[in-house]
Structures are given as structure tokens and as C-alpha cells.
Amino acid sequence: MYSQGLIGADGATQEDEAFLDRFQARIDAEEKIEPNDEMPAGYRRTLIRMIGQHAHSEIVGMLPEGNWITRAPTLKRKAALLAKVQDEGGHGLYLYCAAETLGASRDQMTEELLTGKAKYSSIFNYPTLTWADIGAIGWLVDGAAIMNQIPLCRSSFGPYARAMIRVCKEESFHQRQGYEIMLALANGSDAQKAMAQDALNRWWWPSLMMFGPHDADSTHGDQSMKWKIKRFTNDELRQKFVDATVPQAEFLGLTVPDPDLKWNEERGSYDIGPIDWDEFWRVVGGGGIMNTERIAARTKAWEDGAWVREAALAHARKRAERQQASRQAAE
Ligand code: FAQ
């Protein structure tokens, strides 16, 4: 494991040891860091990368479930799914705003997403083939997101931590609606139960990959823990997720697709089989089933929305001109 290397050595800042020690003392004292506070360039960079990736994930994450809004089996299911997908859009917007407080512009972040420079969560590069996938996403993907994001409510950067509080409340509703879909299918006909099992088979391992590489291979983990941006490591959160989720699968009467899954009495948690990291890195690198389609959809949305952005800017310009003219007339 290695840290970011450039910490304290960014040419644009005067980051001597005394400055870095002062900053670390604030972190250690559990003070929140706010946008106008002094901060090491590496801290700022880490947050822009992580919050930007998180925002992109929420926005791209609308696509797999959006695919099922018109095909939800009942009006009640459609209303809940519509609300959920809208919530994810809202999370993306909060997060872009939080990253903007650090000096990143929305245009710049979007360009990085669309050109493949910025990552988004690997999980959203898998297709949603059946209605049960919507249950599995709510249960597993939102479940994993909550496990990861509850500790982020205590992240050292104020705007990120505060945004996470509302986001987690909404994710918790999403997780329950997903689990309830799975419950209905698991208690339904044999074909419905088989559909639920198939969805669990396809989403289980990608959900475990959401937590990122093993700690030994995590580039940013150590430094982000030291700065209290992250409160738990990737492996710690993955383990908490497995321990919370396996009993939920048992309650559904479904089988977790891991022949090595075993309760470890000594550790008081589950042992799992090996994760296919080659698949993870292939998907992160653009080689997943849906990567091309996801970026094409976001590119089209960005291009289709150009006239709205232009109109909003023109309106703001005219308003400012009118206000200036009336101020001058009053003088
Ligand atoms: N996918 O050094 P680490 C959601 C990259 S929101 C793609 O361990 P870090 C809501 C990582 O960026 C889901 N790339 O990185 C929802 C780094 O590459 P870089 C998103 C990944 O930052 C639900 C490299 O690997 N949540 O689901 C992934 O310390 C349903 C080395 O990794 C967040 O973003 C991955 N899974 O830890 C929406 C939460 N994992 O940047 C719709 C905030 C790692 O050097 C429907 N983020 N990488 O090029 C985090 O907690 C952290 O950023 C981690 C990664 C834990 C994701």
C-alpha cells in the first residue's frame, strides 16, 4: 500500500511540515474541515476524485433501474421505482455541489466522466435483465451503498458528511423497497423464486466488488483513513456487508452463490470465497457489458441538455443586466 506521494509536495502550495501537522491535529481532534479552510492539496484532490466519482455513480446509477420504470409490474411498484431513481439523481446533484465547494466545476467533472478520465462505480456496468434485478439492486447495491456511506456521515470534510446524512436516509428506503420486491418474488411462484435466485446469482459478486480492491491493493485507503475521509477500510466494510446480508438471503430462502461461504466461529463473521479481481479491473477499465452504453446515454443526455444550460445562462445574464440598469437608474 502506498500513499498519494504528492501530499505536501504540491508546487502550488506552501505545505511545510508544520502546516501538515497543524492540519492533521485538526483532523485528529475531529474538527470538520470546511471549504474555505486551509487544506493540503492532496486532501482537496482526494475529495474531488472521491466525491466526483460518487456523484457520477449516482447519475449513471439511474440508468439500470430507469430501464424498468415503464415495465414495473404494478402502479405501486412504478411509483416507488420512479421516486427511487429521482432520489439517485438528487444525490448526484448534492454531491456535484459538494465537489464544487472544493473548486471543481460541474463542466470539468462531466467532461472527465464522458471522456473516461473519471471513474464511476463498477456495479452500474451490469445489465438489468429481469424485474428481479430491480429487487436485487435495491437490496444489495443500495445495501452496499449504505454500509459504505453511513461512516461517510462522519467524514472529515463538512459538506460531504452533511450531504451523506440525507442520502443515507433515502438509501435506506431504497434498500427496503428492494428487499420487499425480493420477498414478494421469493414467496411467489416457482418461476418467480427462480427469477429472484438468478438475480442474486448475478448481483452478489459485483456487489462485493463495489467496496473496492482488497486493502493491500487500495491506492488511497491508508491516507484517506489518516485524514478520516474514510472511517473503515474497503475490506472491513465488505465484511460488514456480508455479515449483514447473508442472514437476509437465508430469510428469503435464497442461496448466496458462493460455495466457500462459511460461518467462522472464531472471528464471529463469514468467510467468503475468492473475488474475481480480473473481472473487477476489466469492468473498471471500460470492458464491462454495459460501459459503452452507459457513457453513450450520459453523453446524449449532456448534449440534449445543452440548450437548457444555454437558456439558463442567458436568463441569468439578462437578469444581471436588468438589475445593474435599475441600480444605475436609482443612483
Ligand atoms: N468502481 O484506492 P482505492 C451507489 C477505484 S453509490 C470503480 O481503494 P478509494 C448509490 C478507485 O477509484 C456507489 N472504481 O479507492 C446507488 C481507485 O481508482 P483511482 C459509489 C473503483 O477511493 C445505488 C482505485 O480503484 N459509492 O451505489 C471501485 O479509497 C443504487 C483504487 O481503489 C461511492 O462512490 C468501484 N467499485 O476507495 C445509486 C462512495 N472501487 O480513483 C443508484 C464513496 C475502487 O485512483 C442505484 N467512495 N475503485 O483512479 C468510496 O467510498 C471510495 O471511493 C471507494 C474506493 C470505497 C469506492
Tell me the per-residue pLDDT of 117-140, one tens digit each, with 9 for 90 and over. Answer: 999 999 999 999 999 999 999 999
**What was the pLDDT predicted at 13?**
58
Place of cell 405501486: 76
C-alpha–C-alpha distance, residues 245 and 289, integer Å? 26
**What was the pLDDT predicted at 275?**
98
Among the residue ranges 3-17, 94-108, 124-138, 140-154, the one predicted with the least confidence is 3-17
- State the pTM of this model: 0.94
pLDDT in tens, 291-320: 999 999 999 999 999 999 999 999 999 999
pLDDT in tens, 8-61: 434 455 689 999 999 999 999 999 999 999 999 999 999 999 999 999 999 999
pLDDT exceeds cutoff 90 at 203: yes
**What was the pLDDT predicted at 331?**
86
**What was the pLDDT predicted at 12?**
53
Q: Is 252 in the pocket of ligand 1 (CB under 6 A)?
A: no
Q: How many angstroms separate the alpha carbon of residue 78 from the centre of ligand 1?
A: 29
Closest residue to atom 15 of ligand 1, CA basis: 220
Q: Which of 73 and 12 is assigned the larger pLDDT?
A: 73
Q: Is 151 in the pocket of ligand 1 (CB under 6 A)?
A: no
Mean pLDDT (whole number) for 247-270: 98
Mean pLDDT (whole number) for 265-288: 97
Q: Is 177 in the pocket of ligand 1 (CB under 6 A)?
A: no
